Amino acid sequence: MNAFSFLIDFVFDTYLMIVLLRVWLQLAKADFYNQLSQFVVKATNPLLAPMRRIIPTLGSLDTAGVVLAIVVAAAKFTALISLGGGSITMATLPILALVLVFKTAGTMVFWVMIIRAILSWVSQGGHPIEHLMAQLSEPLLAPIRRFMPALGGLDLSMIVLFVGLNFLNILLGQYIPFWAAL
């Protein structure tokens, strides 16, 4: 990988994560006045505000944000392939973009859970980022807790979620040939 490929990867992947975080914040009904939330809103509004006039939301799903995430992923592949002097068919590009968006969303869930676990060990519970991580992760952990009792005060729901994410990653890697390369 050359320096320009690295830079394109970094810029597009970072913005894709910010866009997906915006969608996730809205899905989780998280506090939009949190500092991190405000950064995400300010970073995505220039592209998302005009799209929202055209693309309606579906319930609490920000469909304009999902479309923007797919566009960012497609732009990443277009830029990387153009840099390499190759070409890509218009039928393949949306599939690659959807797979990248899905994989990036799974990676973000993993890292939010890791950050929340680490913060629970070192923080006293008053930091705004910790509160936001709890708001993002609780909709994923609460259904697991309903079916899995606590073991003497230990909450193993996060471990179950990690196992589920890893299972899904391995399963999709078996059936989608380029899954591991993204």
User: At how many degrees (to 10) do helices 63-84 and 92-122 cross?
Assistant: 110
According to the model, what pLDDT value does residue 89 have? 78
CA distance 176 to 182: 11
DSSP 56: P
pLDDT tens digit sequence for 99-111: 999 999 999 999 9
| Cβ count within 10 A of residue 82 | 12
Q: Which three-class secondary structure string do you get for 94-153? A: HHHHHHHHHHHHHHHHHHHHHHHHHHHHHCCCCCHHHHHHHHHHHHHHHHHHHHCCCECC
- The Cα–Cα gap between 127 and 133 comes to 10
Residues 6+ away with beta carbon under 8 Å from 55: 63, 64, 67
Per-residue pLDDT for 1 more than 70? no
What three-state secondary structure class fits 34? coil
Interacting residues of 80 by C-beta distance below 8 A, sequence separation 6+: 5, 8, 9
- Residue 11 predicted with pLDDT over 90: yes
Structure pTM? 0.89
pLDDT tens track for 53-103: 999 988 889 999 999 999 999 999 999 888 877 777 788 889 999 999 999
What are the tokens at 4? Answer: 């320009």
Q: Contact at 8 Å (CB) between 37 and 30?
A: yes
